Structures are given as structure tokens and as C-alpha cells.
Amino acid sequence: MDQLPPIVLTALGYVQQAWDIAKEWLLSPAAWSQFGLLIAAYILAVLAYRAIAPRLRKVLTPDDSNASVFAQARRFVLMFLPLLLPLLAYGFTGIGEQVTRALFGSGAVIAFGKRVFLFLAARILVQQIITDGFLKLLGKYILLPVMALYAFGLLDTVQAQLTAMTVSLGNISFSVMAIVRGLIAGSILFWLGQWSNGHSSNYIGKQEELRPSIRQLASKAVEFSIFGLCFLLLMNIMGINLSALAVLGGAIGVGLGFGLQKIASNFISGVILLLEGQATVGDYVELDGGEAGTIVKMTARATFLETFDGRWIVVPNEDFITTRVVNYSDQGSSNRYEANFSVSYDTDINKVPALVQAAVSKHPDVLDAPEGPDCELRGFGDSGIDFCLEFWVNGIDDGKNKYTSQVLFIIWNTLKENNIEIPYPHRVVEFKGDFPK
């Protein structure tokens, strides 16, 4: 036996200890009485559950059409109704434990049964109640193993072993227990941060009285605050002194001063954009460098533009502050466009403006304010007389393919209906000498 590895000897010691406890329970009258109390407590819990659960379900179940906060709270409480049976058994077993300890001075068996009922409650929680995939994964691989160790009375032993084991990273050492605790707490805090951030963003997004840029800035501020608080809580849970992060903060400051200037500049520019609201999601903008598109997303570092052909352009936020930006939308303001056309020199040009303006004004998207359709004479070309129709619409002409195209169709049909010729180039070719064969 002495030649076996230490881990095997330790395992055999636990097996021998479990066998001794089992023999003591099987041969002890006090243990048999505790087994009887466990069975009685479970039967009593089943009877109480059958009497209480239907009434609770009837009280807590709201109408399907009821969407009030109180109704949602009732549905939330109703989800935990399957826990009632193991918790009732746990409570009745606790009463039986007090009785056995008072009569026999021992309650190890019934205490074990009480912990088993608590494990069953945790198992029901993970399998039947929790629906979120991430929380179900944590419950399956963290909560249930911990509750199993607690049920068999090994949790304190395992915790002591993990605390004694250390991992060193340079001059810093951590116990394995601190790392495990940090991973568990970090996972829970990460999920909680994601959940609270999603709900707060939805709430802020519904505040229609706020400008879109202010809503987005508030969502970002809440997001940074939530995850910053989660980070501080995680450091505290892991036992890391926050004053030790001062050196790291200084290093980050030096990095911002030298290598991360552009990142810091884009981040600050993004905050300014959200505060001023000079460009926000949904606006159609054109930058000084020629980039143009609809703003579909704004992040802390860059703004995403979607062009009319479906491509996305990533523009650093700094470009919106340091260069000229043309905003065609400005949260839904009207825009003016032009449609150029020509007529023949044989045309009475005095009739053209009135005919074209009257026809284009009937278009449902063409506005009367700030100005109705205006047909202007632009010049005398080589082949015809040049006109330009100016018109206002509430929207963006996607590359002269939407409103301008529709207006040009109206102009064409109007000129044809009034027998006005649209000219095309004429050329006179002169040959010197004999006509070519």
C-alpha cells in the first residue's frame, strides 16, 4: 500500500471513511430513526405540495392578454413553482433534524438528506426553470457540481485544497481557489452586465423625446458604467488590490500619449458627434474625401456608412470633426435636386416653364415648400436650348436614380404631349474634291 501514489492513497482514505460512516448508519438505531424521519418529511412535503401548488398556480396565473408589470411579476414567480416540493422537503427535514438532535444528540443522516433535497432543488432550477443558454451552462458545470460536493460534505475539503494550491505569475501569486472564484464571478457579472445593458438600451431607445444622438450617447455611457462596475467588483472578489492598478493606468496613459493618439482622438470625436448631433444614424452624408452614404452605425472608434450599392465604408470619427461634412438628411429635412433637359430652337420657349412646372408639381413626392418646381433657362447650346428644373423632395435621390429619373420621365411625356421637339446633335460634313465611292 505504501508504494501507491499519494493521490490513490488519499482516495482510498476517503473510501474507507465513507465505508465507516455507512456501517455506522446501517447499525445505529438513531440512524434508522433519521431515515424514517426523512421518508416522513418527503411524504409530508408531497402532500403539502399537492394541496398548495394548484392554489398558488391559480393565484399567480394572469390572463394571456394582461401585459402589466404586476402580471409579468406574477409570471416570473410562477416559473419557480417546481422548486416548492424540494424546498418543502428541505424545511420539514430541518424540523426533523432538530428533533433527532434533541433526542439522540446526533443528526448526521438527516442532515445529509436535507443537503440532498437542496441538491435536487438546484437540479430542478437548472433543468426546468433557467432558459438562458449561458446561465444553463453555468448551472450545469458549476452549480450542480458544487451542490453535489456540498451534499456529500466535501465542499469545505475541496475548497481548502484549492486555497492551498497557488499559481505564480512573476512576482504575483494567486491561489487556485481565487482563480476559480474569479472565473465564476466574472462569468456571472459578464452575463449580468449584458442583461442589464440590453434592458437599459431598450428603455433609453424608447424615449422618443430625446434626440437619436443623445439616446445613443446615454446608451454608451450606461454600458461603460455597467461594465466598469462589474470590473471593480470582480477585482474585489478576486482579492486584487485596486491600488496595484495605478501602475497599469500610468502605462495606459503613456500609451495613449504616444502610440494610441488616433484611437483617443477618434473616441473623443465620437463623443462630440453624439453630443452635438451634427450627424446621427439614418443621415445621408458626404465627406470631403468623397465618401458618401447613409450612417448605419456609430461606435466609439468609427462611423459606418452604407452606400446605395450596399457597400459599407468605415470612416474614423475624427474625419467628421476635422474635415468638411455635407449632411443631406439633417434628421429628415427636404433636399433640392435638378433635372436638365433641352428643347429645339424651333420651340416657343415661353411656354416650356409653365408646362413642365405644372406637370412635375403633380408628383406625390415633390414639395411646394420651401419652393415649388422651378424651370429655368440655362443657355443656348449647340443643338438646342438648355433648361433646368429645380424641385424639392423629402428624401435622398440615390445617385440621380430615384426622384430625378421620375421627374425626367414626366418632362419627356409632357414635351411629347405638346409636340415640343427634344433636339439631338446635327453635324455638317464637307468633302473637298470628288465624293468618295
pLDDT tens across 238-253, in order?
666 666 556 666 666 6
Looking at the domain assignment, is residue 170 inside a domain? Answer: no
Give 18-47 pLDDT, tens digit per residue: 556 555 555 555 666 677 777 888 888 888
Band (360; pLDDT cuts 50, 70, 90): very high
Q: What is the pLDDT of residues 254-276, one digit of tens each?
A: 665 665 677 777 777 777 777 77
Are residues 231 and 276 part of one domain?
no
Would residue 255 count as lying in a domain?
no
What pLDDT is stored for residue 390 in this prediction? 92
pTM: 0.51
Q: Is 379 exposed, middle or buried (0-12, 13-18, 19+ CB in 10 A)?
A: exposed
Cβ contacts of residue 95 below 8 Å, gap of 6+? 41
Please give the backbone phi and psi of residue 19, each rounded to the nearest 5 degrees, phi first: -65, -40
| Residue 26 in domain | yes
Question: Which of 136, 164, 192 is the last residue in one of the domains?
Answer: 164
Do 127 and 156 belong to one domain?
yes
* 423 falls within a domain: no
Check whether residue 67 and residue 203 sit in a common domain: no
Domain-embedded: residue 437 = no
The verdict on 117 and 139 lying in the same domain is yes
Same domain? 307 vs 359: no
Mark whether 206 and 70 lie in a shared domain. no
CA-closest candidate to residue 416, choices 356, 364, 369, 368: 356
Q: Tell me the residue range of the domain where 157 lies.
A: 6-164
Asked if residue 44 and residue 98 are part of one domain, the reply reads yes
Domain count, the chain: 4
70 with 159, same domain? yes
Positive or negative, the CA dihedral 44, 46, 47, 53 is positive
Q: pLDDT averaged over the chain?
A: 78
Confidence at residue 71, expressed as pLDDT on a 0 to 100 scale:
80
